[in-house]
Structure 1
């Protein structure tokens, strides 16, 4: 009987010999360093331009840098200049961002300069999107184009995976995020060999990307919230309530996504859709305040430094406005990603929960709300868990996050995603 069972068991995947993996180290390392430098370069240039546009320039004009007037001027102007790039640049700065996910298509090299310019102007101008999607697309295009020419015998499918892993490692400052995302992607495809053999080259690229970013830019995601010790029953109850509640709010934006996108598409031209989106974003900025502008990472730090600095209603208002701004910016044509704005929404929601019920620890509220929001917006389980855990840097929260992810995932799985097909229908 034991012999029959052994014969019926599926064969174990054979491990690749070391000599088969060694040739991938150098190209993976080069891609990792280059991807990080592209990310840091774009982010630094956008931050310098943002400093000018939202500092010395309005001061010289005698206008308040975060006044309602300047918000409208800057966001409409950003829509105009980005619209001009999308209209005139070769390849129109890439496909409609509403049709893209974190995994980027391989774009032609001629498209990449326009995409870089559109993303940099967007980051500096104030729309509520992050750099991740454009940077991944640029790095995938560059890595594939150069890799296929310099190493034509290497499988062409390798370069996009290396570039995505390297960029994710650079974005989060750690290769762990890249390994989690790639392992999640590999789970849906048949693999040859063992998991760690398949992860070897992407993990190398992610590590080099993360180390380069750490050495050059010194990023950190820890919000510095009050330390959290051992979880108690009340913390478990809070996590089981907050994460699904955040997921439900996020799903509201997901369901509205195709309708808002269709409304902007009726304008039919980027010189109309993007300025119109900028005008709506200006109104939202005036409603929510300057903290609801931009990608949201620095603004999240401002919220975390003053977890008791606003009322529950103010936190809730900022969360709703930021989510609406994310929805508008992602549907009107701005080139950008959705992870960092979603983190701001989740942080504001978590601090709102703490303001309503002071017994809810700020770290628990923030981490579980970010988890639920990211699950709804990205549908990336590992990224959601990792990001939520990295924000609070408290080991005791991790078990709560794993438990809270279960009901939140049940609310989002199988439902429409914040991504559209070319015909405008939501991807499921």
Structure 2
């Protein structure tokens, strides 16, 4: 009887009054705009530097832009440049990136300039990492520092959540991803009030961040693949097989991560670890070609423009080399995230499945493969589903993705993650 009364009290608990939520709108708008501007600024600066490093500079030197020589030189030079930042710049560009994920710690302001510089150099120089983790960390640090001074009455725990939401909205061009990540993060935590009361301010920040990026930077994730028609039993079978196979491949990198990280850590100094990583990345680029460089967002567009243009073996080679490059770049100390290069791996694997079995539609192969690889690499279920769905913009694929996620999740849950503790052991 007492339990029934308590349950009834929980279900009839009133929503937070509007006067408690209204004061959060202005901080959320400010954080959303600021998070987007930081992302746009770092990305635009990195793209301009990339254009120079991989265009006029090799042309002036009479070297092929994506020749084996130039790719090797640039990746080693990027390792040296980032190593200097990690070694000499105050704050050392933040903690070891192998120990961080999307839920970034609040870093002191002294660390942030070095982290921004290391991220920009990495994005321009070619290592296979994305901007998401360091940009989230920078925005969390800025929001916490400025918020405590400009709006001291706002609880300190609000700023990291707003910054993370605003950055995710800016990265994906939609607030949906942020809402999914925040709702997943709230699971298992003591939450006061209703879910939508807790999501109100993060959604504002994410929506403003997404709109700011859309208006100023025009992000595009739709690959333009032929839409999936009415699915049948063959499509369901293909979705289950491709998602599970992709998750298994991703877990190979996850299990190798502590060993690769330990190997680079034996060098003990960033001026040895990062250039050594550049040497290995140069060898991988020679094997996989220029499409396996950079974060992979524009490169997946190039793959998707011609799904029939490569053999299954060529697509498989691109996927394996890119996954190895992601593993090396994340292990040796480059500052960056793993979602964008993992999407490239999934895209290549999905097109490989289509090349092997033409009855597998390209949109289905790509979506389910991206789903599996992201589940293994990120362990973020909602982000994996959302990213896989948005890449192909086909409503028919949603039900297949939800079903395909079940065996893939069983393969990855409870196992090591691609994130390490301070002692080098994998987080579970």
Question: So what's the TM-score if we normalise by structure 1?
Answer: 0.98
Q: CA deviation at 1:229?
A: 1.5
TM-superposed CA distance for 1:220, in Å, is: 1.1
Question: What displacement does 1:187 show?
Answer: 1.1
Report matched runs for 1:200-239 at 5 Å. 200-239=200-239
Distance (whole Å) between structure 2 residues aligned to residue 130 and residue 8 of structure 1: 46
Structure 1 partner of 2:198? 198
Deviations 1:334-354 (A, max 9, x none): 000000000000000000000
Q: Counterpart in 1 of 2:108?
A: 108
SS of 2:241's equivalent in the other structure is helix
1:77-226 maps to which residues of 2 (within 5 A)? Answer: 77-226=77-226
Deviations 1:259-318 (A, max 9, x none): 000000000000000000000000000000000000000000000001011000000000
| Corresponding residue of 2:368 | 368
Q: Are residues 1:346 and 2:346 paired?
A: yes
Q: Distance in 2 between matches of 1:48 and 1:187?
A: 41
SS at 2:344 equivalent: helix
Q: Using the alignment, how far apart are the partners of 1:4 and 1:366 within structure 2?
A: 51
Mark the CA change 1:66 to 1:150 in structure 2 (over 3 Å): closer, same or farther.
same
The residue aligned with 2:405 is: 405
SS class of match (2:45) = helix
CA deviations on 1:207-248 (whole Å, 9 max, x unpaired) are 000000000011110000012121111100000000010000
- Which secondary structure state, in structure 2, belongs to the residue aligned with residue 287 of structure 1? helix
SS in 1 for 2:92: helix
Unaligned runs of 5+ in 1: none
Counterpart of 1:389 in structure 2 is 389
What secondary structure is seen at the aligned counterpart in 1 of 2:310?
coil
Aligned equivalent of 1:242 = 242
Match of 2:7 in 1: 9
Corresponding position: 1:276 with 2:276: yes
* Corresponding position of 1:303: 303
- In structure 2, how many angstroms separate the alpha carbons of the residues matched to 1:99 and 1:387? 23
Q: State yes or no: 1:355 paired with 2:344.
A: no
| CA shift digits 1:34-70 (9 cap, x unpaired) | 1000000100000010010001100110000000000
Aligned residue-pair number: 426
* Distance in 1 between residues matched to 2:3 and 2:250, nearest whole Å: 47
In structure 2, stretches of 5+ residues that fail to align are none
Indicate the residue corresponding to 1:313 in structure 2.
313
Displacement, 1:4? 8.0
Task: Give the match's secondary structure for 1:90.
Answer: coil
Q: How far is 1:9 from its partner?
A: 2.9
Show CA shifts across 1:340-388 (max 9, x none). 0000000000000000000000000000000000000000000000000
CA 1:28–1:267 in 2, change beyond 3 Å: closer, same or farther?
A: same
CA distance in 2, matches of 1:226, 1:114: 43
Secondary structure (helix, strand or coil) at the match of 1:260 reads helix
Distance 1:4 1:272 in 2: 64
The equivalences for 1:42-57 within 5 A come to 42-57=42-57
The corresponding residue for 1:326 is 326
SS of equivalent residue, structure 1 residue 31: helix
| 1:105-156 deviations in Å (ceiling 9; x for gaps) | 0000010000000000000000000000010000000000000011111100
- Specify the SS of the correspondent of 2:91: helix
> CA–CA distance in 2 between the matches of 1:304 and 1:90?
42
Compute the displacement of 1:206 (Å). Answer: 0.3
Distance 1:240 1:314 in 2: 23
Quick one: distance in 1 between partners of 2:4 and 2:425? 48
SS in 2 for 1:87: helix
Task: State the Cα RMSD in Å.
Answer: 0.9
2:319 match: secondary structure: helix
Deviates more, 1:10-19 or 1:320-329: 10-19
Question: Deviation digits for residues 74-131 of structure 1, max 9, x if unmatched?
Answer: 0000000000000001110000000001110000001000000000000000000000
Give the ranges of 4+ consecutive aligned residues of structure 1 lying more than 4 Å apart after TM superposition. Answer: 3-6
- Aligned mates of 2:377, 2:408 — CA distance in 1: 12
Secondary structure of 1:92's counterpart equals coil
